[in-house]
C-alpha cells in the first residue's frame, strides 16, 4: 500500500497533533485528511507553517488542561445516581458500565464526557457508593462518586435478637425483681413506724389511788 507524508493541521486522536509530520496511506490522506483540512501535503511551502501550527497546538493543549482541571474539581463534588434492576436481596441484575456513567453524567449534569475517559478496573456489580477514576487528560485525573440504587425497594430481613441481648434482658428483669423484694421490708418497716405507739401502762400505785 502506497504511503505518503503529510503535516497535520489538527489534533487527530491516535495519529498526532498539529505540526506533526506523519506517514499515512496515500488514499487516507488524499480522500480524507487533506479534503477535510486535517492535513496538508509535506512540501517546502507547507513546512514554513509548522511554527504557527506548533503555537496553535500549545494554546489548544493549555486550554484543554485548564478545562479538564476545572472539570475534575467540579465532578469531585457530584454524586452520579444510577438506577438498576435488583432482586429482593439487593443483588444486581447485570452491571454498571462506563457507557452508563457517561450517559447519566450527560442526563443529570449536562456534562459530556467520552466514556474512554472513565476508568473502571471492573464493572460495578453492587449497590451503594463507589469512587470511579476519571482520566481526563494526560496530566489530569479526577474522582467521581457513583451511587448505584435499586429501582425496586429492597426487603430487609428481620434480625433476630442476639443471645447476648436476650441474656441482658433476663438479667435486667432479675435485677428489677431483686430491687422490688428489697423494697418490701423497707415499706413494712415504714408502716410500723407510722402506727401510733401503744399507751404506756400506768403505775399500780396510780390505779390504787383511783380506786380509793
- Which CATH architecture describes the domain 3-72? 3-Layer(aba) Sandwich (3.40)
The DSSP result for 103-143, as a single string, is HHHHHHH-----GGGEE-SS-B-SSEEEEEEEEEETTEEEE
**Nine-digit cell string for 168:** 441482658
Residue 210 predicted with pLDDT over 60: no
Residue 202 predicted with pLDDT over 60: no
Fold of 75-150: Ribosomal Protein L9; domain 2 (3.10.430)
Residue 211 predicted with pLDDT over 80: no
pLDDT digit string, tens, across residues 68-89? 999 999 999 999 999 999 888 8
Domain ranges of the chain: 3-72, 75-150
Amino acid at each position: 500500500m502506497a504511503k505518503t507524508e503529510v503535516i497535520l493541521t489538527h489534533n487527530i486522536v491516535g495519529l498526532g497533533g498539529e505540526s506533526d509530520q506523519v506517514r499515512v496511506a496515500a488514499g487516507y490522506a488524499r480522500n480524507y485528511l487533506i479534503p477535510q483540512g486535517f492535513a496538508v501535503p509535506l512540501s517546502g511551502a507547507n513546512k514554513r507553517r509548522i511554527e504557527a501550527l506548533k503555537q496553535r497546538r500549545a494554546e489548544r493543549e493549555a486550554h484543554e488542561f485548564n478545562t479538564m482541571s476545572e472539570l475534575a474539581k467540579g465532578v469531585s463534588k457530584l454524586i452520579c445516581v444510577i438506577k438498576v434492576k435488583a432482586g429482593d436481596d439487593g443483588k444486581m441484575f447485570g452491571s454498571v458500565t462506563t457507557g452508563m456513567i457517561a450517559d447519566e453524567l450527560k442526563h443529570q449534569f449536562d456534562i459530556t464526557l467520552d466514556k474512554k475517559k472513565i476508568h473502571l478496573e471492573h464493572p460495578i456489580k453492587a449497590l451503594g457508593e463507589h469512587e470511579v477514576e476519571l482520566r481526563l487528560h494526560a496530566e489530569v485525573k479526577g474522582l467521581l462518586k457513583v451511587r448505584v440504587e435499586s429501582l425496586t425497594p429492597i426487603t430487609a430481613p428481620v434480625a433476630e435478637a442476639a443471645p447476648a441481648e436476650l441474656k441482658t434482658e433476663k438479667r435486667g428483669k432479675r435485677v428489677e425483681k431483686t430491687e422490688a423484694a428489697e423494697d418490701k421490708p423497707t415499706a413494712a418497716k415504714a408502716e410500723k413506724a407510722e402506727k401510733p405507739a401503744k399507751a404506756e401502762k400506768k403505775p399500780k400505785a396510780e390505779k390504787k389511788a383511783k380506786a380509793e
